Amino acid sequence: MSSLIRLALAFLLAAALVGASNSTASSNATVPAASTFILKGTGDGNLTFAVNVADNSEDLYFHLSASTGNQWVAIGAGSHMKNSLIFVVYTSKSGKNITLSSRIATGHSEPVYNSSIQVDVLAGSGIENGSYVVNARCSNCRTWKNGALNLTSKVQPWIYAVGPGERLRSDSMTAGLRRHGDYGSFTMDMVQATGNPGVPIDTMSMSGAAARGGKHSMSDIAVIFHVFFMVLAFVLILPFGVVISRVFNSIRWHMVNQIVGALFVLVGACIGFYMSPQYNRSKHFNSAHQVLGLLAFIAVIVQIVIGCVGRRIYKKTQQKHPYLGLSHIWNGRILIVVGIANGAVGFVFAGTTWRILPYLLVTAFIIFVFASLLFLKRMRGKREIKASEPGKEQGVPGYMAPPLPYESNVHLTTFAAPPSYGRIQTGPRSVHLAPGRAYGPGPNPRFGSRTNITGPEGPIPF
């Protein structure tokens, strides 16, 4: 009896072990194969990328998660940017979901969206707890133009990059990207990643992957210098040239100021020409910001030429050329207005609209200060002109008060005898003016009196 009991217990134990083994095997059969890379300290959290290569189709599954503190996050297949297939994720326009854009890079410039790459965003994707979460399947990502994945490699190269901290919200697959901040590369074991198809499970440990070369950082220093030189030139230096000319009356320092401003514009323009091919939105040189910037640059060169020619003519003739002077004034006014307006357009073009308000406030303050100086100078000039005009003591500007009625403004007195020139003068002469008429011969039409000169022989009609 006891032996039967032992036999029954042994049978039940064996059945349980077989069931557990089958359950484990079945579970392992449904878990997707994966290689997982984890980069710590990216933004406000970690960057996690896991890839799965389906063994029964051409599909490739991947999982990507990273902090939304980054404007965008990108993973690329390849050892460097050129010809790399890149998946870029950023916040949707609503701010509640993600936008996944598949792009191909042609070099060290913004990658270009490629609509032929078929990527489907799967369930579980979105924004969770301040992180991008992407679960996706790509049906033709094993090969692409000028590139391919080596599925037999255990060290397949990949690259990563994260954008700056400024927010990007767009549903467009072609949304413009700012230059990346942190970037680097890593390798993945594609053999380990090949197997049961499906989105890899998000894990907290790295498996089948390794970082390569460490993490690097880069700032968009060229954009910063472009803004610095252009804003300083059009908002401060060139407008201050007007103050130098009108307030301080210094043509020499006005010329120095304009040359310095032109050099700042030249440097800023060269930086703009250098940056333009690096971004999709600017590589064709047909945006409003670029067109206005080019016109302003040409206007600055014209301004310098007009000023130099006009100055040379003045030195020769000591006269200002009327048309050159007028052209110099109005060309200067227009180019300053266009340059300041183009600064605001540039911030919109770069996707940093939040900088427009501070820019306009600072510009308005500087213009107010310069305009106040010009106004005070003008008022002072008017006061000086009034003070120099005759008749101010009578309080009538620009007009000499006439003498009182019936009075002469010539002081009359008895004149001494003039020197003799061959004729002997017999006595002094005195001039008596009748009250009815101050000057001129003949009777006064109003009073009928005459003007007489009395000499030694008697009155002489005049």
Mean model confidence pLDDT for the chain:
81
- Which has the minimum average pLDDT: 112-121, 268-277, 400-409, 446-455? 446-455
Instruction: Tell which residue, 39, 38, 354, has the closest CA to residue 182.
Output: 39
**In degrees rounded to 5, what are phi and psi of residue 217?**
-125, 150
Specify the pTM: 0.69
If one counts every other C-beta atom within 10 angstroms of the C-beta of residue 41, the result is: 10
- To which residue do tokens 């305009």 refer? 371
**In degrees rounded to 5, what are phi and psi of residue 169?**
-125, 115
Instruction: Tell which residue, 176, 262, 287, 268, has the closest CA to residue 222.
Output: 268
Segment 114-125, tens digit of pLDDT: 999 999 999 999
Q: Residue 393: pLDDT above 50?
A: no
**For residue 19, what pLDDT is reported?**
46
Tell me, letter by letter, the H, E, C secondary structure of 162-231: ECCCCCCECCCCCCCCCCCCEEEEEEECHHHHEECCCCCCCCCCCECEEEEEEEEECCCHHHHHHHHHHH
- Which has the minimum average pLDDT: 82-86, 235-239, 429-433? 429-433
Q: Token digits for 245?
A: 């000319």
User: Which residues 6+ apart lie within 8 Å of 160 measured at CB?
Assistant: 39, 47, 49, 73, 74, 75, 76, 183, 184, 185, 186
Confidence band of 414 (pLDDT split at 50, 70, 90): low
